[in-house]
Amino acid sequence: MSLIGRAALGVCVVALLSAPASAQEKVWRHGIIEAKSDSGILYMASKRDFARKLGLKLEFVPMKTDTIELKATIAGELDSFEGGPGGSIIAASRGADIKIIGCNWLVVPHGLFVRDGISSVADLKGKSIAVSAPGSFPELVARSVLEKAGIPVGEVKFAAMGSDTDRYKALAAGVVDGAIVSNEYTPIAAKSGLKELVAGSEAVPNFVRVCLHATGKTLKERADDAAKFLAAEMEGLRYAMSHRDEAINLSHEITGSKPDDQRPAFVYDWAVKANAIGTDLPIPMDKLAFVQKAAVSVGSMPKPIDLATVVDTTVREKAVPLLAGH
């Protein structure tokens, strides 16, 4: 079974069940982390169909982790994906053909959540923290939090779990003592006896959370389509950040959350306050350098590489004029 097939098993992937595009319409398959309370922002390009007026059909493919997305993109099963840049930098250091083409979530919304009774990072010695796959963004955040607190990584146990939802549920159930999860759980954490101990934006202020990625092969063979995709993403982000109520309602619609669920509004307002959304999809080289430094420090890659080999600015350069024309 393909990578996408395994990842989507048991998940309703609406985009994949939609009617096929017309003969003249090209399809762009984009991997995205499964819907959460920020989906009204990240899914807007697809839901408002901004790409269609450029002659491109966007199919968003939800997946559990960006590690799976990266593998699927390299395998040619996706045209692009969005997720933490660390995975692509590490993969590129091992010879993978992967490029960062823009970044949309520039500030870390995640944090270290713990159970009541734990009042400091030191209290986690000998206990377990839920992260994602080895070398993933959640693990890098956890390691950075421990390093800043002066706690050797070897004094805690990392439990590899898939999504934010999986990690939060494990923490609430007492399976683990801490978890790196999105701050969207802040409005409901106290009800489960949980709290955010360390905000990721404070522990790792120089991290960039989400970037868009594609292989060099795809960018070469589908240069025009890649530019159209990026233009649609920019327009979607701009629209989302100027239409608060619509973005929040879209989050409720996609996740199936109840109207009184405070999480979508919390995430949206936090993103605005933190200036977290890069609506023009910049490529912040200083932040990518920080991510690479963290990856090297935890042993995910032996030494730094030239980050210019991991980014492709030409797609964005071609996308901006397309956006200006609409």
Say which CATH number the domain at 172 has: 3.40.190.10
Q: How many residues does the chain have?
A: 326
Of 150, 176, 203, the one marking the end of a domain is 203
Residues 319 and 214 in one domain: yes
Residues 98 and 223 in one domain: yes
- How far apart are the C-alpha atoms of 112 and 99, rounded to whole Å? 29
With 50 as the cut, is the pLDDT of residue 22 above it? no
pLDDT on residue 300:
85
Residues 216 and 310 in one domain: yes
With 50 as the cut, is the pLDDT of residue 12 above it? no
Enter the pTM of the model. Answer: 0.85
- How far apart are the C-alpha atoms of 218 and 75, rounded to whole Å? 11
Please state the domain count of the chain.
2
Give the model confidence (pLDDT) of 140-157 as tens digits. 889 889 988 999 999 999
Residues 60 and 139 in one domain: no
Q: How confident is residue 199, by pLDDT bands cut at 50, 70 and 90?
A: very high
Cβ-proximal residues to 171 (8 Å cutoff; 6+ apart), any chain: 113, 114, 115, 130, 177, 178, 179, 181, 194
Of 155, 185, 203, the one marking the end of a domain is 203
pLDDT on residue 150:
92
Q: How confident is residue 227, by pLDDT bands cut at 50, 70 and 90?
A: very high
- Residue in this structure with the two tokens 């002659």, named with its chain if needed: 55
Of 147, 174, 203, the one marking the end of a domain is 203
Residues 218 and 90 in one domain: yes
Residue 45 C-beta-side C-alpha neighbours within 13 Å:
28
- How far apart are the C-alpha atoms of 199 and 111, rounded to whole Å? 4
Mean pLDDT confidence for 30-34:
92
Could you tell me which residue, 123 or 325, shows the higher pLDDT? Answer: 123
What DSSP element (H or E) covers 214? strand 210-214
pLDDT on residue 326:
52
Residues 254 and 315 in one domain: yes
Give the model confidence (pLDDT) of 52-72 as tens digits. 989 999 999 999 888 899 999
Choose the weakest-confidence range: 24-28, 226-230, 305-309, 318-322.
24-28
Residues 103 and 115 in one domain: no
pLDDT on residue 298:
78
Give the model confidence (pLDDT) of 238-251 as tens digits. 999 999 999 999 99
Q: How confident is residue 13, by pLDDT bands cut at 50, 70 and 90?
A: very low
pLDDT on residue 8:
46
- Side-by-side strand order, sheet with 194-199: 157-160, 128-131, 178-182, 110-115, 194-199
CB atoms within 10 A of CB 159: 18
pLDDT on residue 3:
53
What DSSP element (H or E) covers 199? strand 194-199
Residues 194 and 212 in one domain: no
Question: For the purposes of burial, counting CB atoms within 10 Å of the CB of 21, is it exposed (0-12), middle (13-18) or buried (19 or more)?
Answer: middle
pLDDT on residue 324:
61
Residues 82 and 8 in one domain: yes
Residues 188 and 212 in one domain: no
- How far apart are the C-alpha atoms of 45 and 239, rounded to whole Å? 9
Residues 54 and 160 in one domain: no
Mean pLDDT computed over every residue of the chain = 90
Residues 134 and 262 in one domain: no
Domain span at residue 171? 110-203
Q: How confident is residue 9, by pLDDT bands cut at 50, 70 and 90?
A: very low
Q: How confident is residue 132, by pLDDT bands cut at 50, 70 and 90?
A: confident
pLDDT on residue 144:
86
With 50 as the cut, is the pLDDT of residue 188 above it? yes
